[in-house]
Amino acid sequence: MDRDIDLFLDMMAAEKGAANHTLSAYRRDLEGLQKFLETRASAMRAAEEEDLRAYLGALNKRALAASTVARHLSAIRRFFTFLQTDALREDNPAENLARPQTQRPLPKILSIDETQRLIDAAYGLSETSPAEKLAKARAVCLIEILYATGLRVSELMGLPRMACDTDMAALIVQGKGGRERLVPLSEPARQAVRAWLVVRDAQPGAPNSPFMFPASGRLGHLTRQRFTQILHLLAARAGLEKRRISPHVLRHAFATHLVENGADLRAVQQMLGHADISTTQIYTHVMDERKRRLVEAGHPLAAQAKFTMREDKSRR
């Protein structure tokens, strides 16, 4: 494959602190463009704006979501900006490409009651054998930390053993771009961490692992796939649909429940590790949407009001 792609990915990792899954997505998108250019007897350094527009048109013909096309465009823009900045080509054929219109979907969320049922399911796991005791302590610790902090799943899986401060009042988290933040721990989460560390450190080889949740695989720590499996097991025990449950849904639950209970949006932004407050503001839209649905479902004149509004608009 094109060496320029490798150079670009090296830059993104070293200078931007891009995560592995982000780098993999960039590689897939750019290699897709490269294969398309080959069908037009062109190459990355020789690509013209017309070639890039043709590629985006081909993506649209595949009926991909606007957000997916936008992701491809973002990779293309960054790549050609890199080529121009590093003097690998004089111009930037991507600079005039328009971003497709996208509407950010509201995040999937769990109610407080549903979240509590999921947590209760972890505490209800059997512990009749040493293996079950280990699995239960880990599941409880994972879900308590996630709901108490709203960590990204990559942050939680790779959490260092020494991430807790001395009195376990907070976690020190290294997020996107290598930015560190301090996230408070709730009392249930602190208790779950203490209980987990007792069981964890008793396992052969575990005290030597740098990770909070060590595993024997290539990464050395629990994978996001295995954690999702654990959550689906808990969902089944809690009577919740598996398709509604994921680590990211619990991150959304953390943020939504905080905002619903009056938390300052800036504080939530800092805890989530969002670089831009606009990303955090989506949770205020979640609140507005839920309030609207409550009114429409429970207010005796809501349906009439909607009909009247539509009728008034049709008369204009």
Strands (E), the chain: 170-174, 180-184
Spatial distance between the Cα atoms of 40 and 165, rounded to a whole number of angstroms: 57
Q: Is 5 left (phi over 0), alpha (psi -120 to 50) or beta?
A: alpha
Q: Exactly one of 108, 117, 274, 290 is catalytic; which is it?
A: 274
The structure tokens listed for 67 are 């957000």
Spatial distance between the Cα atoms of 192 and 104, rounded to a whole number of angstroms: 35
Q: Exactly one of 16, 53, 108, 176 is catalytic; which is it?
A: 176
- Residue 179 among the catalytic residues: no
- Residue 310 among the catalytic residues: no
- Residue 251 among the catalytic residues: yes
Q: Exactly one of 152, 190, 200, 224 is catalytic; which is it?
A: 152
- Residue 285 among the catalytic residues: no
- Residue 78 among the catalytic residues: no
> Other C-beta atoms within 10 Å of 93: how many?
19
Q: Exactly one of 26, 55, 147, 283 is catalytic; which is it?
A: 283
Q: Exactly one of 200, 221, 251, 252 is catalytic; which is it?
A: 251
Q: Exactly one of 77, 108, 242, 248 is catalytic; which is it?
A: 248
E strand or H helix that includes residue 247? helix 247-260
Short-list 15, 17, 45, 13, CA closest to 30: 45
> Other C-beta atoms within 10 Å of 231: how many?
24
Q: Report the catalytic residues.
A: 152, 176, 248, 251, 274, 283
